[in-house]
Structure 1
Amino acid sequence: MNLLFSIDDRFVDQLATVLTSIAENTNAEDFQVYVIADHPLEASAKLATYCEQLEMTYHPIVIDPQDFAQAPITDRYPTTIYYRLLAYKYLPADLDRILYLDADVLCINDLQSFYQMDLSHHLYASAIHTALTNTTDVINKIRLQNFDADGYYNSGVLLMNLELIRQRVKEKDVFNYIEENRLVLLLPDQDVLNALYGDQIKSVPDELYNFDARKGRTYETISFGEWTLDWVMKHTVILHYCGRDKPWLPNKNTGRYTALYKHYYNLTLRRLASLQ
């Protein structure tokens, strides 16, 4: 199983927490962990050792800033927005698929059902928070003019069909789109993904593969009481701690899934401390 992350030194513990949750809940024989950064991470050696402890293999990928010398960037659109969209350039050519995950997720059930799904002619598999944001979904279609897409996809969890991406995703197209649409982009990398490739993304259920941890009560309501906490613990694969109030921050103790995150986070911190 190939896993992809893009972080800086501020999110090493969070990345390690994601890996802990995957190791605890996913039955796979081989984990290859690729981490893209624009400089060598200070904790790279610690991450490598921790991955080894989890029986995973760590592959740091350091991007040369000159690769994006022609890319339009500003304070709002830093170079990092390109990393997940153009990751295929830096990954081994023999990889046929990889799962990109933000560092603010937990994997609480086996990832295999998602990772092994048939992508056929799709570039990506991703989730739309349709039932949670239906009005916003319509606005985004108008804003990005991608009416053939099923909706507005969240780029925090992306299963990538690398073989097809290498053929269809071109950095020039990405650079040009950002340059030409600066005034309408709100979440740059996510907007670009949806605008250019939204009609080539396979939709997956967000309640299974990109559950917005802020919206537990809403999920329960729209499912007529089915998607309760017990249901989520049994069926949901990926919990996504979207928004600004991250569960690892001090005094951020609200939300029914915060304690679950803190369990994995504190377990990870203890294990990391034992490596020193």
Structure 2
Amino acid sequence: MPSSEVPVFFAVDDNYAAYLAVAIKSLTAHTDPARQYHLIILCDNLNTANQDLLKTYQQANVAISFVAINAQLKQAIDDRGNKLRSDYFTFTIYFRLFIAELFPDLDKAIYLDADTVILDDIAKLYDVSLGENLIGAVPDYFIGHTPETIDYANQAVGIDSQKYVNSGVLLMNLKVMRDCHFADHFLDLLNRYHFKSLAPDQDYMNAIARKRICYLDSSWNVQITTPKTVTPRLIHYNLFAKPWRYADAPRRDYFWRYAKQTSFYSELQHDLAQMTPQETERDQKNQRDLIALAVNIIKTPVTFAAISKQGVKIAL
């Protein structure tokens, strides 16, 4: 018998409030009236005005709450050298790795990045059985289909590139993660070795959980480069081709369908109109830098795979 309440986590700051609004509107449009859903927003510098706007998207079977990430947790993360998409550092990328410890009353939950659009009842994902696996996730299409990142996954992270998963959509076995002290293990590795990473949270998740991943149907995380033959139940606008930045972004119509239903629609349209050739070149440079970084990390002596070969326990 499935649990009646479905906990769904997001992690954002003010920079992602507008995109989170779109994700929430799409999620609420596909809920089962017989189920209860609790959207828990882990936030860092999310102002009261944005919280109030997001809270208006609650409905009879969907509650929304906000949990500020405390300074103690942020102080525990002393590795700030890795950037998101080779662009900027944000604490929010790490918050998902602490959900099990921060919410000890929950045995299972979903984590979603804010740049997602949900096209089916998210409870169907929640009801997937994980067994003793730590997480359920979908392989990262970009990593698994780019020559340099294929080598990176295999040689630096220590996981088959076709099994390297994207951490933007996670079904999390919180009880099992607590039982094996996942958060403590992550912090020890992070702060002891300072691994250089392409995707900081994602690389650690893959390295640590690689023996205990439940591979989900790819329709639950259709990414920017996922083939159009896959019918999406959830779209994840990962990497650079965001629909609020590029008028020709893949699967953009799904995003704008729900963006029109939010208070942020005009802001998002303005962002799209303000996109310049210089910004496009910056994105292209960041992607080139990301691929170059993959090549360079493989050559360094401190990688997950290299340390594992020295006898250090990486995978749980």
TM-score grouping bracket, smaller chain normalisation: 0.7 to 0.9
Q: Assess if the C-alpha contact under 8 Å between 2:143 and 2:153 holds in 1.
A: no
CA distance in 2: counterparts of 1:40 and 1:260, whole angstroms? 26
Match of 1:184, SS? Answer: coil
Moved more, 14-23 or 151-160: 14-23
Moved more, 118-127 or 197-206: 197-206
Match of 1:154, SS? Answer: strand
Q: Which residue of 2 aligns with 1:46?
A: 53
Q: Which residue of 2 aligns with 1:34?
A: 40
Q: Assess if the C-alpha contact under 8 Å between 2:241 and 2:250 holds in 1.
A: no
Structure 2 counterpart of 1:12, one-letter code = A
Q: Taking structure 1 as the reference length, what is the TM-score of the superposition?
A: 0.81
Q: Which residue of 1 aligns with 2:65?
A: 59
CA distance in 2: counterparts of 1:265 and 1:238, whole angstroms? 15
Q: Assess if the C-alpha contact under 8 Å between 1:247 and 1:253 holds in 2.
A: yes
CA distance in 1: counterparts of 2:166 and 2:257, whole angstroms? 26
CA distance in 2: counterparts of 1:261 and 1:66, whole angstroms? 36
Q: Assess if the C-alpha contact under 8 Å between 2:117 and 2:254 holds in 1.
A: no
CA distance in 2: counterparts of 1:94 and 1:266, whole angstroms? 36
What RMSD, in angstroms, separates the aligned Cα atoms of the two structures? Answer: 2.7
Alpha-carbon offset, residue 6 of structure 1 = 0.2
Query: 1:23 and 2:28 equivalent?
Result: yes
Alpha-carbon offset, residue 138 of structure 1 = 4.5
2:253 to 255, 259, 262: 259
Q: Which residue of 1 aligns with 2:129?
A: 118
Structure 2: unaligned runs, 5 residues or longer? 1-5, 83-88, 268-316
Q: How many residues are aligned here?
A: 252
Cα deviations by residue, 1:88-108 (Å, 9 ceiling, x for unpaired) = 2222x3222111000111111
CA distance in 1: counterparts of 2:41 and 2:222, whole angstroms? 23
Q: Taking structure 2 as the reference length, what is the TM-score of the superposition?
A: 0.72
Match of 1:59, SS? Answer: strand
Structure 1: unaligned runs, 5 residues or longer? 221-226
Mapping of 1:183-202 within 5 angstroms?
A: 183-202=195-214
Cα deviations by residue, 1:107-153 (Å, 9 ceiling, x for unpaired) = 11232332101111111100003597244344312101246x96211
CA distance in 2: counterparts of 1:157 and 1:248, whole angstroms? 20
2:118 to 96, 107, 112: 107
CA distance in 2: counterparts of 1:137 and 1:271, whole angstroms? 38
Q: Assess if the C-alpha contact under 8 Å between 1:129 and 1:153 holds in 2.
A: yes
CA distance in 1: counterparts of 2:207 and 2:15, whole angstroms? 30
